[in-house]
Amino acid sequence: MNVPFAKMNGLGNQIIVADMRGRTDRVSAEAAVNINARAETRFDQIMAIHDPRTPGTNNYIEIINSDGSRAEACGNGMRCVVQALTAEQGRHRFIFETVAGILFGEEGEDGLITVDMGTPKFAWYEIPLAEEFADTRQVELQIGPIDAPVLHSPSVASMGNPHATFWVKDDVWSFALDRFGPLLENHPLFPERANISIAQVTAPDRIILRTWERGAGLTEACGTAACAAVVNGARTRRTARKATVTLPGGDLAVEWQPDDHVALTGPAEWEWGGQLDPATGAWTRDEAA
Annotated binding site for substrate: 13, 45, 65, 75-76, 161, 195, 213-214, 223-224
**Which residue, among 66, 62, 27, 76, has the nearest Cα to 44 in the 3D structure?**
66
CB of 55 to ligand LBFN2T5F, least distance (A): 27
**Which residue, among 236, 227, 210, 209, has the nearest Cα to 162 in the 3D structure?**
227
Catalytic-residue membership of 74? yes
Among positions 125-184, residues that touch ligand LBFN2T5F (CB under 6 A) are 161
End-to-end CA distance of the chain: 23
**Would you say 251 and 244 are in contact if contact means Cβ atoms under 8 Å apart?**
yes
Q: Is 239 in the site for ligand LBFN2T5F (CB under 6 A)?
A: no
Piece in contact with ligand LBFN2T5F (CB under 6 A), picked from 99-107, 121-129, 169-177, 210-218: 210-218
Q: Which of 209, 222, 226, 263 is catalytic?
A: 222
Q: Is 214 in the site for ligand LBFN2T5F (CB under 6 A)?
A: yes
Q: Which of 16, 47, 74, 100 is catalytic?
A: 74
Q: Is 65 in the site for ligand LBFN2T5F (CB under 6 A)?
A: yes
Piece in contact with ligand LBFN2T5F (CB under 6 A), picked from 46-54, 144-152, 218-226, 240-248: 218-226
| Sequence ranges of the binding site | 13, 45, 65, 75-76, 161, 195, 213-214, 223-224
**Would you say 131 and 241 are in contact if contact means Cβ atoms under 8 Å apart?**
no
Piece in contact with ligand LBFN2T5F (CB under 6 A), picked from 19-27, 134-142, 207-215, 232-240: 207-215
| Residue 172, SS3 per DSSP | helix
Residue 80: C-alpha distances to residues 84, 132, 216, 247 (Å) = 6, 36, 17, 17
- Active-site positions read 74, 222
Contacting positions for ligand LBFN2T5F (CB under 6 A): 13, 44-45, 65, 71, 74-77, 161, 195, 213-216, 222-224
